[in-house]
Chain A
Amino acid sequence: MEYSEKVMEHFMNPRNVGEIKDADGVGEVGNPVCGDLMTMYIRVKDDVITDIKFKTFGCGAAIATSSMVTELVKDKTIKEALSITNKDVVDELDGLPPIKMHCSLLAEEGIKAAIEDYRKRKDKKDSRNQRFEIEN
């Protein structure tokens, strides 16, 4: 099994590692296949993902795809971010060994979970604001 140079480059120098304090959305996903874990933090402004950070417990492919997906969605709209698939991430990395394809799902699902969390929080906030308006 061999990783592409691009995978190794992202693995050795992962982009956007860390956490965002007071993030607008946090997604935590696990890989049912091998038991790995990933947390994505996003900051959203005017429907655009302005900042993103990740933490991953997993193999080289899991770390490289986490890193790549953060690059792909940064400065994109929520809609654009949601359209990115694990296949896009793998293509950007010049492929993954077949046995490692499942690792890239973590990256796609991590973003989706973070966005879902962001939307939930926003809905809550919006409905709170609405109530406010009525009371006034």
Chain B
Amino acid sequence: MDNLIYLDHGSTTPTDQRVVEAMLPYFNKLYGNPSSIYSLARESKRAKEDAREEVAKLLNAKAEEIVFTSGGTEADNSAIKGIAFANKAKGNHIITSRIEHHAVLNTCKWLSGQGFTVSYIGVDKYGVLDLDELKGAITDKTILITIMHANNEVGVIEPLAEIARIAKDSGVCLHTDAVQTVGKIPVDVNVLGIDLLVLSGHKFYGPKGVGALYIRKGTKIASLLHGGYHEGNRRAGTENIPGIVGLGKVCKIAMEEREEDEKRVKALRDDLEERIAKKIDDIIVNGHPEMRLAGTLNICVKYIEGESMLLCLDHEGIAASSGSACTSASLEPSHVLTAMGIPAELAHGSLRFTLGRSNTKEDIDKVIEVLPPIVSKLRKMSPFGKG
């Protein structure tokens, strides 16, 4: 794995060595349960509250507005179900988008079998939410709008501030899945005007299995997990202290290094995009040309299929991903590309590169060296001409 070129940072990232080191003492030296009373336990509690401060700082939130969770999926579930169940008397209508992560989509889908109704708002060809459709969907029964900050597949950044204005004008609570943006672009809950926000450690060089839910003070929400009195009675369960310490550390690093990182990553991504477009015919770049995460390049390569490209890239030591039906467990093409109006046969040839901190110009050179021959080999095999 030493020579691996990792271009799948949208899936997960390697944990920063500084984060690993910050976490280590909390496994077997400072292992106290923060709910206990003795000094060992107080160490854990202090570490947890320090981490909460760091997370809050990164979001410009207050520490008490942060609840630690087991990751993005749990936090999304808690936010959406929590708002839905706490506001049953007010209404039963939830609005989301057609391009959400499954952590949001399947939660909404489940709620629609529990007496709630869900509207799925469409996007334009770039993946940007249709704001008029959103406005039109709000009724006096609407209790929650949940729209992701940036999409994990194509990297499009949604106009959250405008969405927040629309939500506020109608007095509806706004939740955002910011798993793909926190630590990468500025995320200020007050500038954006968000009521609930979700982040996940492993997407920005923190550990897996830890995340946070921001809940604006005064927001009425039910808990998902019931048990002991943890996290201000908002999330039961003995806290994952090493993970929480890691999350705090990675938020602190992000505060200091995010901007530099993203500049460098964007330059690499732009270079990759430009050179792929030059070297390979019949490709389409998906997502918005400007409103896009710095590290994301999602393309459709016509006439061939994504999984076969991924296997060939893997053979060359390059890790990437695809929205092809053949790579998804459901054997359906990516719901995101479909919502953007990309036909199934094109979505079939989708390829996602998500660049990150470790990538270098040499990595890009290698992709540019190996991808064109892979594409032409597979096209020669394809019945769609162009061989």
Chain A contacts for B312, CB-based, 8 A: 12
Whether A17 pairs with B325 at a CB distance below 8 angstroms is no
A12, A17, A37, A59: which has the most chain B beta carbons within 10 Å? A59
B59 within 8 A of partner (CB): no
CB–CB B381/A60 < 8 A: no
Residue of B345, B382, B387 with highest tally of chain A CB at under 10 A: B382
A17 B381 Cβ-Cβ under 8 A? yes
In the complex the two chains form, is B325's CB within 8 Å of A35's CB? Answer: yes
B303: which A residues are within 8 A, CB to CB?
57
Would A35 and B348 be within 8 Å (CB), given that A11-B308, A58-B305 are in contact?
A: yes
A57 engages B326 (CB within 8 Å): no
Partner among A28, A56, A59 whose Cβ is within 8 Å of the Cβ of B381: A56
Cα(A34)–Cα(B326), bound, Å: 6
Give Cα A33 to B348, complex, Å. 13
Shortest beta-carbon distance from B11 to chain A in Å = 15
Contacts A8-B311, A63-B308 given: A99-B331 contact, CB under 8 Å?
Answer: yes
Minimum Cβ distance to chain B for residue A59 (Å): 4
Q: Do A56 and B383 have beta carbons less than 8 Å apart?
A: yes
* Smallest CB gap from B349: residue in A: A57
A104 at the interface (CB under 8 A from B): no
How would residues 328 to 360 of chain B score, 1 for a CB under 8 Å from any chain A CB and 0 otherwise?
Answer: 010101000000000011001000000000000
Q: Cβ of A70 < 8 Å from any Cβ of B?
A: no
Interface of A is mostly: mixed
Query: What residue of chain A has the Cβ atom nearest to residue B312's Cβ?
Result: A12
Residue interface mask B159-172, A partner, CB < 8 A = 1: 00000000000000
A38 interface residue (CB < 8 Å to B): yes
Chain B interface: which size bin?
A: 20 to 34
Q: Report the separation of the CA atoms of residues A63 and B384 in the bound assembly, to the nearest whole angstrom.
A: 14
Q: Are B344 and A35 in contact (CB under 8 A)?
A: yes
| Residue-wise interface mask of B (179-212) relative to A, using a CB-CB cutoff of 8 A (1 in contact, 0 not) | 0000000000000000000000000000000000
Distance between Cα atoms of A11 and B326 in the complex (Å): 15
Docked complex Cα distance between A36 and B349 (Å): 11
A3 vs B308: C-alpha distance when bound (angstroms)? 12
Say yes or no: A14 contacts B381, CB within 8 Å.
yes
| Chain A residues, CB < 8 A from B305 | 36, 57-59, 62
Q: Does A76 contact B (CB under 8 A)?
A: no
Set of chain B residues within 8 Å of A57, measured between Cβ atoms: 303-305, 348, 381-384
Judge whether A35 and B381 touch: CB under 8 Å. Answer: no
Q: Could you tell me if A63 and B348 are in contact, using CB atoms closer than 8 angstroms?
A: no
Q: What residues on B are CB-neighbors of A8 within 8 Å?
A: 311
- In Å, the complex CA distance between A105 and B185 comes to 46
Closest 7 pairs between A and B when the two form their complex, measured CB to CB: A59-B326, A34-B325, A55-B383, A59-B307, A39-B383, A34-B331, A60-B311
B interface with A by C-beta (< 8 Å): 303-305, 307-308, 311-312, 315, 324-327, 329, 331, 333, 344-345, 348, 380-384, 387
The residues of A with any CB-CB pair to B shorter than 8 Å are 3, 8, 11-12, 14, 17-18, 28, 33-39, 55-60, 62-63, 99, 102-103
Given contacts A56-B381, A57-B348, A59-B308, 12 further A-B contacts (CB under 8 A): A3-B311, A11-B308, A34-B331, A34-B348, A35-B325, A35-B333, A37-B383, A37-B384, A57-B303, A59-B324, A60-B311, A62-B326
Would you give 23 A-B contacts (Cβ < 8 Å), ordered by A?
A11-B308, A12-B315, A14-B381, A17-B380, A28-B383, A34-B348, A36-B348, A38-B383, A55-B382, A55-B383, A56-B383, A57-B381, A57-B382, A58-B308, A58-B326, A59-B308, A59-B326, A59-B327, A60-B308, A63-B381, A99-B329, A99-B331, A102-B331
